[in-house]
Structure 1
Amino acid sequence: MSLLRAKIQDVFNEPACEKNRGKDAKARKEGCSKPLTPGAAAGGCAFDGAKIVLQPITDVAHLIHAPLACEGNSWDNRGAASSGPTLWRTSFTTDLTELDVVMGQGERKLFKAIREIKEAYGPPAIFVYPTCVTALIGDDIEAVCKRAAEKFGLAVVPVNAPGFVGSKNLGNKLAGEALLEHVIGTLEPDDAGPYDINILGEFNLSGEFWLVKPLLNRLGIRVRACIPGDARYVDIACAHRARAAMVVCSTALINLARKMDERWDIPFFEGSFYGITDTSDALRNIAELLVKQGADPEILGRTEVLIAEEEAIAWKKLAAYRPRLEGKRVLLNTGGVKSWSVVHALMEIGMEIVGTSVKKSTVEDKERIKQILKDDNHMFEQMAPRELYAMLSEHKADIMLSGGRTQFIALKAKTPWLDINQERQHPYAGYDGMVELVRQIDLAIHNPIWCQVREPAPWDCQPTVREELPRTKSETATLHVVQEIAGTTAGNFGEC
Structure 2
Amino acid sequence: MLSDRLAPVFDEPGCATNRAKTDAQKKAGCKPKGPAPGAAAGGCAFDGAKISLQPIVDAAHIVHGPIACEGNNWDNRHSASSGSDLYRRGLTTDLTELDVIQGGEKKLWKAIRQAIEKFDPPAVFVYQTCVPALTGDDIRAVCAAATERHGRPVIPVEVPGFVGSKNLGNRLAGETLLEHVIGTREPETTTPTDIALIAEFNIVGDLWQVMPVFEKAGMRVLSPITGDARYHQVAQAHRARASMVVCSQAMVNVGRKMQERWGIPYFEGSFNGVRATSEALRTFSRLLVEQGAAPDLIDRTEAVIAAEEAEVRRRFEPYREILAGKRVLLYTGGNKSWAMVSTLQDMGMEVIGTSVRKATDHGKDRARDLLDGADQKLFGAIPNAEMFRMLKDGEADIMLSGGRSQFVALNARRPWLDTNQERHHAYAGYAGFLVLAERIALTLTAPIWDQVNGPAPWDAGDTP
Measured against the shorter chain, the TM-score band is over 0.9
Q: Aligned partners of 1:149 and 1:37: how far apart in 2?
A: 35
Amino acid at match of 2:325: G
- SS, match of residue 146 in structure 1: helix
Aligned counterpart, 1:294: 292
Q: Aligned partners of 1:350 and 1:148: how far apart in 2?
A: 57
Aligned counterpart, 1:64: 63
Q: Aligned partners of 2:309 and 2:34: how far apart in 1?
A: 45
Q: For residues 273-318 of structure 1, what are the alpha-carbon distances to aligned partners after superposition, in whole Å with 9 as ceiling and x for unaligned? A: 1111111111010000100100000101101111111100101111
- Give the CA deviation at 1:336: 0.8
Aligned counterpart, 2:123: 125
- Is contact 2:368–2:375 with CA below 8 Å preserved after alignment? yes
Aligned counterpart, 1:172: 170
- Is contact 1:13–1:20 with CA below 8 Å preserved after alignment? yes
Aligned counterpart, 1:144: 142
- Is contact 1:79–1:205 with CA below 8 Å preserved after alignment? yes
- SS, match of residue 157 in structure 1: strand
Pick closer, same or farther for the CA change 1:13–1:292 going to 2, 3 Å: same
Aligned counterpart, 2:378: 379
- Is contact 1:125–1:154 with CA below 8 Å preserved after alignment? yes
- Give the CA deviation at 1:39: 2.6
- SS, match of residue 321 in structure 1: helix
- Is contact 2:128–2:159 with CA below 8 Å preserved after alignment? yes
Q: Which runs of 5+ in 2 are unaligned?
A: none
- SS, match of residue 184 in structure 2: coil
- SS, match of residue 102 in structure 1: helix
Q: Aligned partners of 2:384 and 2:377: how far apart in 1?
A: 17
Q: Aligned partners of 1:391 and 1:188: how far apart in 2?
A: 54
- Is contact 1:322–1:349 with CA below 8 Å preserved after alignment? yes
Amino acid at match of 1:151: R
- SS, match of residue 352 in structure 2: strand
- Give the CA deviation at 1:34: 4.7
Amino acid at match of 2:378: M
- Is contact 1:62–1:92 with CA below 8 Å preserved after alignment? yes
- Is contact 1:54–1:228 with CA below 8 Å preserved after alignment? yes
- SS, match of residue 400 in structure 1: strand
- Give the CA deviation at 1:68: 0.9
Aligned counterpart, 1:425: 424
Amino acid at match of 2:416: W
- Give the CA deviation at 1:462: 7.2
Aligned counterpart, 1:50: 49
Amino acid at match of 1:317: R
Aligned counterpart, 1:442: 441
- 1:106-125 alignment, distance < 5 Å: 106-125=104-123
| Count of matched residue pairs | 462
Q: Aligned partners of 2:90 and 2:460: how far apart in 1?
A: 57
Q: What's the Cα RMSD here?
A: 1.3
Aligned counterpart, 1:91: 90
- Give the CA deviation at 1:25: 3.1
- Give the CA deviation at 1:205: 0.9
- SS, match of residue 209 in structure 1: helix
Q: Aligned partners of 2:149 and 2:315: how far apart in 1?
A: 57
Q: Aligned partners of 1:144 and 1:314: how far apart in 2?
A: 53
- Give the CA deviation at 1:41: 4.4
1:153 aligns with 2:151: yes
Aligned counterpart, 1:413: 412
- SS, match of residue 57 in structure 2: coil
Q: Aligned partners of 1:495 and 1:89: how far apart in 2?
A: 52
- Give the CA deviation at 1:206: 1.0
Amino acid at match of 2:386: E
- Give the CA deviation at 1:349: 2.1
- Give the CA deviation at 1:33: 6.1
- SS, match of residue 320 in structure 1: helix
- State the identity %: 56
- SS, match of residue 325 in structure 2: coil
- Is contact 1:369–1:376 with CA below 8 Å preserved after alignment? no
- SS, match of residue 129 in structure 1: strand
Q: Aligned partners of 1:430 and 1:122: how far apart in 2?
A: 35
- 1:321-340 alignment, distance < 5 Å: 321-340=319-338
Q: Aligned partners of 1:92 and 1:455: how far apart in 2?
A: 50
Q: For residues 15-50 of structure 1, what are the alpha-carbon distances to aligned partners after superposition, in whole Å with 9 as ceiling and x for unaligned? A: 112320221233224444655643314311100000
Q: Aligned partners of 1:20 and 1:454: how far apart in 2?
A: 47
- Is contact 2:209–2:428 with CA below 8 Å preserved after alignment? yes
- 1:340-419 alignment, distance < 5 Å: 340-374=338-372, 375-419=374-418
Q: For residues 109-142 of structure 1, what are the alpha-carbon distances to aligned partners after superposition, in whole Å with 9 as ceiling and x for unaligned? A: 1111101111111100000001111111111111
- Give the CA deviation at 1:457: 2.4
The answer to which of 441-450 and 27-36 deviates more is 27-36
Q: Aligned partners of 2:308 and 2:343: how far apart in 1?
A: 15
- Give the CA deviation at 1:322: 1.6
Q: Aligned partners of 2:188 and 2:57: how far apart in 1?
A: 22
Q: Which runs of 5+ in 1 are unaligned?
A: 464-493
- Give the CA deviation at 1:405: 0.6
Q: Aligned partners of 1:112 and 1:349: how far apart in 2?
A: 55
The answer to which of 369-378 and 175-184 deviates more is 369-378
Q: Aligned partners of 1:340 and 1:66: how far apart in 2?
A: 37
TM-score, normalising length from structure 2? Answer: 0.97
Amino acid at match of 1:379: L
Amino acid at match of 1:7: R
1:204 aligns with 2:202: yes
Q: Aligned partners of 1:162 and 1:228: how far apart in 2?
A: 21
